[in-house]
Structure formats: C-alpha cells, structure tokens
Chain A
Amino acid sequence: MGMKWTTPAKSATILLAAAIGLAACGNAEGEPKSNGGGNQSAPNKTYEVVMTYPAFGDVTDVQAVQDAISAITAEKVGATVKLVPVNGSNYANQLNLMLSGSEKLDLAYTSVWFGFESQVSRGQLLPMDEPLAASGKGILETVPEATAEAGKIKGETYGIPSMKAWALSPSLVMRKDLLDKHGIDTTGLKTWSDADSVLQVIKDKEPGVAPMVSYTAQETPGTAMLYFDPLGTAPGVLEFEGTDYAVEEITATDAFANMAALMKQWFDKGYFNKDIATTQETGSSLIKAGKAFSFIRNINDCYTESVAAGAELVCVPLESSYMTRNSVASNMMSLARNSENPEKAIQVLDLLYTDEAVINLFTNGIEGKHYVKSTDGLIAKPEGVERTGYDSNQYAVGNNFLSYVWTGNAPDIWKQLQALNESAVKSRAMGFSFDINPVKAQIASVTNVQNQYDAGFQTGISDPAELAVYREKLKQAGIEKIVAEKQKQLDEWLDTK
C-alpha cells in the first residue's frame, strides 16, 4: 500500500523543516551603539572622534558626558567626541566586529587579553608613532618610556597604556571580620604554605564558610602562585629573578610541581569548596554572600578588592610586586584602521592624558550630577542618590592619576600607586611581544590541553602524580615548538635592544 510520495509533498516537508530551522536561528546580535560614519566630515565641520571602550557599570547618561567633553575638545583641538561604551563582557567580540567592518572608528580600547597582537598582525590597528610625534606631546611626556614599550610591536607603537597601577602583587586576600573574630595574626605569613594555619582555623571554627575559593574559574588559587612573566598569552615563561633570558615551559618548573602538591594538600584538607574547578561564582560574590573566607589573586590594590567583595579585606602580599608587559598592556588605547583623521584622534587622546577636566568627565561624569566633591577634596555619589546614570569607569582609559579620588580611598592613593609602580620588580622582557603566527596551530591545540588539565592541578583536584601525563599531552600538542619559537623571538628582540 505504498502511498506515492509526490514531489510537491516532498518539497513541502523540506520547506516546513527548513522554516522551523530558520525560525530557530533568528536571534539578532546586539547592534553596536555607534551608527557608523554617516556623513563624512565636511571640510569646515569639526571632526568627530569615535571612541569605543568597555564599561562595567551603568552608563545611561553617556550622552550628557559626551556633550560636556565635546564642548572642551571642540574648543581646544577642534574635534568632538562620540563615546561608544560596550558592555564589558561583550567587548572582545564587539571590538573584533567593529574592527573588521567598515564602520567609522578612531580610538579603540585594546588589551593583550582581547587579542591586541592578532589585531596588529591582521592590520586592524594603525601605527601611532607619527601622529604621536606630531600631536601627542602630552602623552609622550606622561607615559614613562619603559611602560610605553609595552604597547610596541616590532618597534612600532600600536597602543598607549592607560595610567594606573601596573604593578601586580600576588596576595592572599582574606576577610578582616573573621580574622579579628578568631584573633588570627597575619604578620607571620611569609610563604604560600604558611597560609595553612589560617585556613585550618577557619575550617575548624566556621562551618559553612569555605576557607578558600577561586577568584574566577580562570583565576584559581594556584594561578597567582606561579611567579613568572608569562611573556604574552602563549606558553613559555621567564623568571623574574636572575639575568638570563631562558624561556621555560611552566609545567616543567619546580614552582609548578610545588604548587600542584600544595593545592592537593589543601584540597584534601577540605580548605576549598568542592566545586572549585567549575564554580560559576566569583570569589568576591562568595565573600559577599558570607560563604567564603579568602582567595588568592594577583591584585592591584586592596581597596578595589574590598569594594568588589563588599567587605573589608586584608591583603597579604606573598611575593614581591611585579610589572610585566601583560600587566601594563592589559589596558590601552589604539588607533583603529578606519580612522579618517588620526591626528585629531591623537589630539583628543592627548587631552585624556593631560587635561584634568576631560579625564574627570570621562571617568567620573559631571560634577554635581554624577558625583559631588567633599571638603577634603575626595568625591562621592550625590547624597541619597543610588543610581546616578554614570558609574565611575576608572583605570581603562587615559591618565587616571589626574582624576579625583573616591571617598574611602587614601587621599594620596595615586601617589601610593605610582610609588608601587616604581618599586615593583620589572620584567627584563618588558618590550617583548610574541608573534604567535608561526605557531598558531600548536597554540590552538595546547590551549585545549591546558583547558583540560590546568584547573585540576591548580585547585588540587588532580593528583600531582598525573603531571607526567599532562606534560606528555602538551608535548604531543606541540608545546616544545612554541617555547622554542618564543626563545628564538626573544633572542632576536634582545639583539635589537
């Protein structure tokens, strides 16, 4: 009884299936806020500098801020600005889209964590040396030469670091209330393993509180214990101590093995929450919820950590503060390929590094509306206002040392941070950037192996005895080739120095 499967019926079924499939993929990507470069600047019109950057707070009032900044820039350099804040969690994707299209964009926030080197090698960013020499005097005077090195690739500048705390301190970050409650003295803490005594107290006396958690799924306790210059984001690290330039494979170092052993010990003693390797909550939010006591992280300053966790924290640095290219080049401004007037763009950027009014408008908003100044010179949110419509967006852009200090910080916080920057151990390879192109395929494979094993060792879930397996897999994925390539490029860089 075969019913004839006629062609129209066949097509109908295919169409039906296809239609349902189509309906399912109709989720539109969030449009970037910028509406592109509609009217090309007429000769007499002031040029509009479009700038994009990540914003982590509420920026609904950005238009008002943009108008206020434009008023100043129009007068001083004959250009207006258009601010395009992008939600921080989408920024990396959004930036790649904006840089790939033909959309008008002058200044773009870039970062080694958001693919800065790849953007340069794909020709999406413009070299900045010439326009900087012509119209960026203020920038060149403000950014120390050693730091400006971090934004260079093969001797050419592609990014200007923002002025902020560049030094990172690997620290044990703990809740002050619990330290006080149990009368724990932290002055004796000198090495990572010393933390054992503190964690044991919390484990014994505070049921329901995890003595230690990961800061994020990527920043596990073991991450900050690996005291090396990572030399970019690909494998192959350099020790801070010493004078040689030997690139090492991190899992082959004693430091890694010791870390894995200590983590295993802590995990077995129950210092970590059980889902530490996959947790979706940040250390800050767990502390805020009263479920955690401490985390280990490379921190800029303790105040920022306390604000994020909503609790007073004690930060004990257990290694000397350090500065690497990564820590500096994680916040930069670059010139986008589509800029129609690089000179004006740099002039505006120059104001962000030298003009107190401009940088304060940008980071803190409009005085009286988004913040008020108190008598001691510090600033705070206007009395009784919870949502100002423009949350302070510090550190990412410009010269933060010119901006006002928020209440709760030491009034001389900028001086302290600058001193920290100066005293920090500086990596010998500050201006070295690794060109991943020759070993891209190996990096893609190694990244997958790392993703499978790293977190296990850094949270003590994996037995250090399995380290050999991990290293064998890395070897198969081609890690030796990456390390050799990095060594070769580092040696070449040394020759040019």
Chain B
Amino acid sequence: MGDRAIQTADMPKEWRTRKVRTRALNKRLSYVRRHWMLLAMVVPGMLYLFINNYLPMFGIVIAFKDINFAKGIWQSDWIGFDNFAYLFQTQDAWVITRNTILYNGAFIILGTVIAIFVAILLNEVKNRFFSRLYQSIILLPYLISMVIVAYLVLALLNEENGYMNRYVLPLLGLDPVSWYSDAGKWPYILTLVHLWKTVGYSCIVYLAAIVGINQEYYESAMLDGASKWRQIRSITIPLITPTITIMTLLAIGRIFSSDFGLFYQVPLNSGALQPTTDVIDTYVYRGLMTFGDFGMSSAAGLYQSVVGFALVLFTNALVRRKNRDLALF
C-alpha cells in the first residue's frame, strides 16, 4: 500500500485521478462479479418498485390541475391549491383528522401489544400441530373481506334480530341498544373489529423475530432461575425491539390513511355514526363519489402521503437520537 501511494504521487495529476477512478471501478466490478446472483435477485423487486411506486408519481401534478381529458393531463390548467380547499374548509376537517389519528394511534399501540402477546403465546406452544392450528385460526379473520366482516358485525348488532339485542343483552338484564345510531359505542366496536381482524397477521412478523432468538439466552436464564415473565421482559422484548420499532415506524407512515373497508363498510355507512366513524378516506369518498373528481381525490391522497412522510421522518429522527441502530435510516 505504501509504495503504491508513492508511485501515484509521482504521476501527473490527471493520471492520478484516472488511476483512482479505475481502481474504484475495478473494486465495484469485482463486487458485482462476486455478488451478481444476489444482485440479480434484487432486480425484479426494484423494477416492481419503480413501475408501481415511482412511475405513477408524476400523477402528483393532477392534484394541482383542473383535469380536462380533451387537453390531456400536462396541458390541463394549473389551479394551485384549489383542489385541497374542501379538505380544510369546514369543522369536519377537525373531526376527520382527529378520528383518523386517534383510531390509528390506538390501532398501533393496541395492535402491537396484542400482536406481541399472541406471538409470545404461540411461541410457547410446543406441539407443532396445535401451534400451526392456532396460528391459522388467528390468521383467518385477516383473510375475510371487509364486506363480509360488515355482515358478521351486522349479525351481532342488528337492531331487531342481532345476537346482542336478542340474546346477550336480555341475558344480562339490559335494554336493547340501537347500535347503528349510537355513535358513542363505535370507537370500541371498530377497535375490536380491527384487532380481531389484523392481530393474526401482524403477529407473524413478531413470531418470526421471536423464533430467531438464540435459545441459549433462555437456557442460561433458566439456569439462573429466571421466571417466564422475567425471561419475556429481559430477553424476548429487548431482542425484538428492533422489529417493534420498524413495524411501528412503518405504521406511523400510514397514520393519515385509514382502512377504508373498516370505516365505511362496517358501520354500514350510517349517517348517525359519522361523528365517530368518519375518517379522511371515508370523507373524501362520500364527498367525491357523486362527481368523481380526479384532482380533488389526488389532493387528498397527496396530503395524506406528505403528512405520513413528515411523521416518519420526525419519528425516525427521534428514534435515531435515542439509538442509532434502531432507526430506519
């Protein structure tokens, strides 16, 4: 290394930079040669990402245009932020923003806690058959369409023939409840439905992380006489913290978007429930359904993405300050 440096120092300046460049290139080439198989495996994913996520991004301009197909997207008139106005002009703007954030916040916190809890329980089931069986059963609701979920909920909550009003409430000596016009109960109902539906899916990721933990940690802990609870607290949770952080950061990126099916189908689009079930997505859908305006719906989408992006940057910075290794980037 030493004499090479001397050699390059003797060369004219141009040569020197060229030499350095070729060396860097060679280094890169040899990297490619060595890892070409791995790199090739990345290509389809990159292509997919490019075609699916980056190409359509030019559509962002639609949010600032008055779309006219006779003129084409590029030639349509620019109208600045007019398409965004409807999102902010009434006091509904506050209600839908509050609902969206509170619901998603609750979903992130409760969803994570319960998913980890379930993942730990599943990990403790040593019989392989039952472990698989439980996993499948918990995952099942995730695979059911929201429309069907809405009817399952209706079967429970139907005013006259629902299971709750017909059997459960009389059994407890309570009066029937008019579920679909009592807005106050829906934050609980929707949270329950969401958890029931998604926990099976999110616990897979945590389960994978837990399974990956080296058994030796547990063995030595047991030798030291650590209880199960202690093992969970001091081994499992710290070791899956990176996974928790990443999953949470990703979820925060979507905090301004909501599960449309859950908020639109499950309350059966009942107007009386709107104060507690209306979120940004349902508001936009209802408002624009009649005239299907591309500009205004793109504006809503862009608004959600920008806020989501900002929140991810912000949370990531927070995480980074605490522990550099845990941050996404």
* Interface positions of B from 142 to 178, Cβ below 8 Å from A: 151, 154, 158-160, 178
**In the complex the two chains form, what is the Cα distance from A227 to B241 in whole Å?**
64
Interface residues on A, range: 35 or more
Q: Is B293 part of the binding interface, using a Cβ–Cβ cutoff of 8 Å?
A: yes
Decide yes or no: A123 and B70 within 8 Å by CB, A115-B291, A440-B293, A447-B286 being known contacts: yes
B91 at the interface (CB under 8 A from A): yes
Q: Contact at A3–B239, with CB atoms within 8 Å?
A: yes
Contacting residues, chain B, for A14 (C-beta < 8 A): 246, 250, 328
Instruction: List, in ascending order, chain A residues with CB within 8 A of B227's CB.
Output: none
Q: Does A33 contact B (CB under 8 A)?
A: no
Binds A, one of B25-33, B103-111, B116-124, B200-208: B200-208
Which of A161-169, A252-260, A448-456 lines the interface with chain B? A448-456
- Report yes or no: B180 in contact with A277, Cβ–Cβ below 8 A: yes
Q: Cβ of A385 < 8 Å from any Cβ of B?
A: no
Size of chain B's interface in residues, with CB distance under 8 A?
A: 57
Contact present for A13 and B292 (CB under 8 Å): no
Question: DSSP class of B's interface residues: helix, strand, loop or mixed?
Answer: helix
Kindly state whether residue A445 has any CB partner on chain B within 8 Å.
yes
A190 at the interface (CB under 8 A from B): no
With A13-B243, A278-B268, A443-B291 already in contact, the answer to whether A20 and B204 are too (CB < 8 A) is: yes
How far, in whole Å, are A213 and B296 apart by their CA atoms in the complex?
36
A17 CB within 8 Å of chain B: yes
Contact B242 A452 (CB under 8 A): no
Q: Is B287 an interface residue (CB 8 A)?
A: yes
- The distance in angstroms between the C-alpha atoms of A337 and B290, with both chains bound, is 21
**Cβ contact of A16, chosen from B205, B274, B286, cutoff 8 A:** B205
A451-B86 contact in complex given A275-B158, A278-B180, C-beta closer than 8 Å: no
Q: What's the minimum C-beta distance from A416 to chain B, rounded to whole angstroms?
A: 33
In this complex, the member of A100, A451, A454 whose beta carbon has the largest number of chain B beta carbons within 10 angstroms is A451
B293 touches A280 (CB 8 A): no
Is A440 in contact with B271, judged by CB distance below 8 angstroms? no
Decide yes or no whether A251 CB sits under 8 A from chain B.
no
Residues of A within 8 A of B (CB): 1-5, 9-10, 13-14, 16-17, 20, 24, 92, 96, 99-100, 115, 117-118, 121-124, 217, 233, 273-275, 277-278, 280, 337, 436-437, 440-445, 447-449, 451-456, 461, 476-478
28 inter-chain pairs at a CB distance below 8 angstroms, sorted by A residue, are A5-B242, A9-B242, A13-B209, A13-B243, A14-B250, A17-B247, A100-B69, A122-B67, A122-B69, A122-B70, A123-B68, A233-B291, A275-B160, A278-B180, A278-B269, A437-B66, A441-B82, A443-B287, A443-B290, A443-B291, A445-B90, A447-B286, A448-B92, A452-B278, A454-B271, A455-B271, A456-B181, A477-B90
